[in-house]
Amino acid sequence: MKKIMLSAVLCVLFAACQNEKKQENKEAEYTNANNLPNMGNQSVNTAIQNALDIYFDALNKSDVAQAVGQYTADGVFMPTGFPTATGTKELNVAYENVFKAIQLKVTFKVEEIITQSEDLAFVRTESNGTQLIHANGKTTEELNREFFLMKKVDGKWKIARYMFNQPR
């Protein structure tokens, strides 16, 4: 009887240890997906930063084609207080309307890049500067927090989803 009880306890302990080991492996997989090897991670971060620099440059130049060109074909733009624009056609209309209304003069800072896989990443940025409101000629402070879902398409990082809000 003691041998049976001891065997049962050992089986339970072994199963518990295996379960804990599986959980550790899952956590390690998640960590590795988010922290690609240093060389790879740096080159991925640089490629994402470069794609966003082109987008941010387009915003400051009010260049619709350049801004929309940084999106995937099914890209989604979710501006605060305005309708969501989905796909190239709606993105073109949205950015035409934005640039008719305002002229941005902002700088952007990438706060973090979290790589989920070889072709998917989350990016959080902050921007600040000014905007010229065309309707009244007034210049106001512009401060936003931005969130991007980036997707690698045909070897290039593109904006798949983008939303922003004002921190105050």
Regarding the domain delimited by 41-165, which CATH topology (the fold level of the hierarchy) does it fall under? Nuclear Transport Factor 2; Chain: A, (3.10.450)
Task: Spell out the residues 6+ positions from residue 71 whose beta carbon is closer than 8 angstroms to its own.
Answer: 77, 88, 91, 158, 159, 160, 162
- Which pTM does this prediction carry? 0.76
pLDDT digits over 48-74, tens only?
A: 999 999 999 999 999 999 999 999 999
Q: Residue ranges of the domains in the chain?
A: 1-34, 41-165
pLDDT digits over 88-132, tens only?
A: 999 999 999 999 999 999 999 999 999 999 999 999 999 999 999
Counted residue by residue, the chain has a size of: 168
